[in-house]
A and B are shown apart, each in its own frame.
Chain A
Amino acid sequence: MFRLRLAPLRAAVMLAVGFVLLRVVYRVVFGGAGAGLGPVLLDLPRLQLDAPFSHITLLGPITLLGLGNAALSALPISAVIVFFGLLNAIINVQALFARGAGRGPLRAISRSLVIAWATFPALLESVRRVRVARALRGERSIASLLVPVFEQTIERALALAASMETRGFAAARVVPGVCEAPVVLADAGLNFRGDWHLDDLNVTLAPGSLTVIVGATGSGKTSLLHSMSGLFQHFYDGVQHGSIDIAGADRAATPPRDTAGCVGLVAQNVRLGFAAETVHDEIGFALAVRNVAPSIVHARVLELAARLQLEHLVDRPIEQLSAGEASLVAIAAALVNHPILLLVDEPLADLDTNARERVCTVLGQLAHEAGVCVVIAEHNTSEFALVADAWLQIRGSRLHEVPLEQVLTTDDTEDTAPKSNASASAVPLASIRRLSVRHKDHLAVDAVSFNVPAGELIALRGSNGAGKSSLLRAIALPTAADTVIVAGHDVHSLKRRTRRQAVALVPENFDDLLFAITVAEECRRADSGLTGADTAQTFARLLGFDTAADATPLFERHPRDLSAGERLCLVMAIQLAARPALLLVDEPTRGLDHRARSLVSAALFTAAGHSAAVIFATHDDDFAQSLASRTLRMHAGRLTAPIGVLS
């Protein structure tokens, strides 16, 4: 309730002083500072105004007493200002919102305020990210900063809303779940805006089983999962045919909020869905919105934290969690109501090996020891080989139950892209000289040096945190002179426009570079100021079309409505507009499936023809081997194998 924060008090004092000064100025200007008989400090001429302002006289003599009176008369209101500043400094209003957010007549507004509060750190982070992105694109317009930040914010709002909805926020009634039949899909079909459909769904899942849904990106793993959570029908406006019964409730008629007691959901990007300020409140959220007594919520939170070994995190602010911890907290939050069915969307995407193992073990235990029906959508299939009971694969618009071996083999096939057979010339196109990057007290890149011959397609490999992304960013935006030389120019000394002709980077979070409302406008924007650039044409080529005309339907769409693979190609085309000598691409295959990966690999190959050399960072062994003409390996900020030539 109470705490001391001096900033509001300081602000109030400043305001109060300003108010007194302003009052004195008014008196001086509008002829009121001449009261009393004291000595006249300054005798200004009186100016009488014309009608309708004839009652007003400007200026006039100024006396010390007059000034004093003016200042004194402002004191009561100044005192009020300071008083409010004091209140603001000692009362913790945030704590009040958090209390009001659970219950009471102002719970909607209070919850909004809690969310607003929690959004600030994310906003700052977002601004930081987008600033780098627009420097990479060579943009300086205000829209290129504000629009991506705004898009990220809206994305956060939607993820948050979905997570609150599935945890019973604003539920009007509670559906008692039927434990025996967690999932029954009978002759069901799903359709989304005519773009995507899935037919003939006949699935029955038993309690205590773990099922993994696999399929290509865009095949609709997430949509199928959300047809069970109810978000597909009730949040994203998808259309359902046939019957889908979840824990005995008819999904078409029951919104997610009403089944929060028996269905738990762990969303794709768990951080976006956090609705509370501390780990404790986050885990207890679904109970708090149901008006469960705080002592019961507390006991339940501690019980779950103990079960998932998260006791040490309970009092931690939600933004201080690592990726693995955040996943486990989200799982705990989904379990707080003892669900019959637990739905998990791509839980492994951002995790390192240790965290992956832990999440897999936890999910396996939930199914096989606690008897929960667990359904996971995931394309990292091998991790679940030990714990999964059944595999469902989406192919075309049908769902097939497949044995484990088939899942693993279909996932591993990779069509090999043609290898670059460029002749390495004697003079290197680019040389990196003792390039270092320091993040606070940690050296992310440690004096890295290497040469890039023209015509190469180089893979940059290494584990998480090895410094790959830092290295690529430092090559694109060097902070010291003479560290990056491309085609004879020191990149550090180049201007914004000319830098784009030397080196361009497609960052991992490539969406941050997009800020127009149509693809066509995005391309025009990239062409502006460049002679002979045709980004639309490049984009069409990267997608495998012969001319821009073949891709016409894509150009009228909103850039963010494109698929992930298409968006990546768009950003690559934008970054190729100035024909950079060196193109850098960070993690081009992250989150992409087999088909999108072949699209990107062909695009990278095409891109190598547009620029003189390409360096791409990747985790993906097959992808790197099928494409790269050389490999650079990085470990702890250093190159371990300077330009290793592949056999």
Chain B
Amino acid sequence: MSVVVSPRRSIRFTAWTLTGGSVLAAAAFAWPFFVGAVPADAQVAVPIVAFALIPALIVGLVLTLDREMYTAKTVALLGVLSAVGAAVRIAGAGVGGVEAVFVLLILAGRVYGARFGFLLGLLTIAVSSLLWGGFGPWTPFQMFACGWVGAGAGLLPRWSITTVQRWRIRCEIALLAGYGVVASYLFGLAMNLWFWPFAVGSGSGISYEAAADPGQNLASFALYSLVTSTLTWDTVRAITTVVGIVLIGPAVLAALRRARLGPRR
């Protein structure tokens, strides 16, 4: 006999776990701005705590989601799609860092929901990092940020207006492309946030200074972000994402939705 947990309760439980985990993770991403609030003696420990918190949260959330994902179809789709994502990411690194992986995360998150999108983000980064070798302390942060991109796509509004199919597809593509732009820039900001103190080190104009007031740190961060990624990588990523979603979005959405339906005969 197996214990039957009411699905509703278990879903609500994982929803709370996911939300709570994401809030904690967001705090860990923004650690440079929390240092001032901590007693001076403990300030050194803040980045270390942040670094330990993210992997711990990933393990916790994955443990929570693992049970829920334990069906053959979900596991197979998750595995195969994360391989596609990893391949896209590795192939993209070969052509001047064109980041097209968001296209897949957004489309799959949209069709299969926030949890699937979140896990797909985590796994895509995990697989590509292990395969290509870009594994390091930043990997958990990347995994989380990509998980958010996928999950966010799953949370976008759905509508059931019975308009012409062609227009419905266009609206959906426009929505996803818009989300893609927002996600690209936010992803860049989030990734810069936790790494900025390490990337720049101390002693330069845009360095992070624990003792300085938050306004000054924010300005330094803004400039750092602008020159390192917002104007370059993030813009390239936003453009790639929009172009990708517009070009292959309708066909990929159709393929993903058909997979849910049934056999090919």
Please say whether chains A and B are actual partners in one complex: yes
How far apart are the CA atoms of A53 and B219 in the complex, in Å? 6
Does any Cβ of B come within 8 Å of A161's Cβ? yes
Besides A35-B203, A238-B262, 13 new A-B residue pairs in contact (Cβ under 8 A), listed by A number? A11-B134, A23-B201, A31-B204, A84-B136, A105-B63, A109-B119, A115-B80, A119-B84, A153-B81, A153-B83, A160-B80, A223-B263, A560-B258
**B199 and A117 contact, CB distance less than 8 A:** no
A12 in complex: contacting residue of B130, B136, B258, CB < 8 Å: B136
Does any Cβ of A come within 8 Å of B126's Cβ? yes
Known: A84-B137, A120-B83, A123-B87. A57 touches B205 (CB 8 A): yes
- What is the chain A residue whose CB lies nearest that of B215? A52
Most buried by A among B1, B133, B202, B227: B133
How far apart are the CA atoms of A12 and B71 in the complex, in Å? 36
**B123 and A109 contact, CB distance less than 8 A:** yes
**A108 and B75 contact, CB distance less than 8 A:** yes
**B84 and A123 contact, CB distance less than 8 A:** yes
**A558 and B254 contact, CB distance less than 8 A:** yes
How far apart are the CA atoms of A52 and B135 in the complex, in Å? 36
- Residues 496-508 of chain A: 1 if any B CB is under 8 Å from the residue's CB, otherwise 0? 0000000000000
**A560 and B73 contact, CB distance less than 8 A:** no
**B133 and A116 contact, CB distance less than 8 A:** no
**B201 and A26 contact, CB distance less than 8 A:** yes
> Could you say which residues of chain B place their CB within 8 Å of the CB of A73?
201-203
- What is the chain B residue whose CB lies nearest that of A80? B137
**A161 and B73 contact, CB distance less than 8 A:** yes
How far apart are the CA atoms of A10 and B134 in the complex, in Å? 10
**A147 and B80 contact, CB distance less than 8 A:** no
Does any Cβ of A come within 8 Å of B62's Cβ? yes
Known: A77-B198, A116-B79, A165-B72. A26 touches B204 (CB 8 A): yes
Known: A112-B123, A150-B248. A119 touches B223 (CB 8 A): no
Q: Distance in Å from the Cβ of B213 to the closest Cβ of chain A?
A: 10
> Could you say which residues of chain B place their CB within 8 Å of the CB of A170?
70-72, 75
Chain B interface category by residue count: 35 or more
**B254 and A158 contact, CB distance less than 8 A:** no
Most buried by B among A23, A94, A157: A157
> Could you say which residues of chain B place their CB within 8 Å of the CB of A147?
248, 251-252, 255
Residue count of chain A within 8 Å CB distance of chain B: 94
Q: Distance in Å from the Cβ of B169 to the closest Cβ of chain A?
A: 8
How far apart are the CA atoms of A601 and B217 in the complex, in Å? 74
A174-197 interface (Cβ within 8 A of B)? 192-193, 196
> Could you say which residues of chain A place their CB within 8 Å of the CB of B206?
26, 30, 56
Known: A55-B205, A237-B261, A517-B250. A112 touches B79 (CB 8 A): yes
* Pairs A-B, 9 closest by C-beta atoms: A115-B79, A8-B133, A32-B204, A11-B133, A119-B83, A161-B76, A56-B205, A30-B205, A112-B79
**B219 and A56 contact, CB distance less than 8 A:** yes
> Could you say which residues of chain A place their CB within 8 Å of the CB of B254?
517, 558
**A236 and B262 contact, CB distance less than 8 A:** yes
A108 in complex: contacting residue of B66, B83, B133, B262, CB < 8 Å: B66
A515 in complex: contacting residue of B81, B86, B251, B258, CB < 8 Å: B251
> Could you say which residues of chain A place their CB within 8 Å of the CB of B62?
106, 109
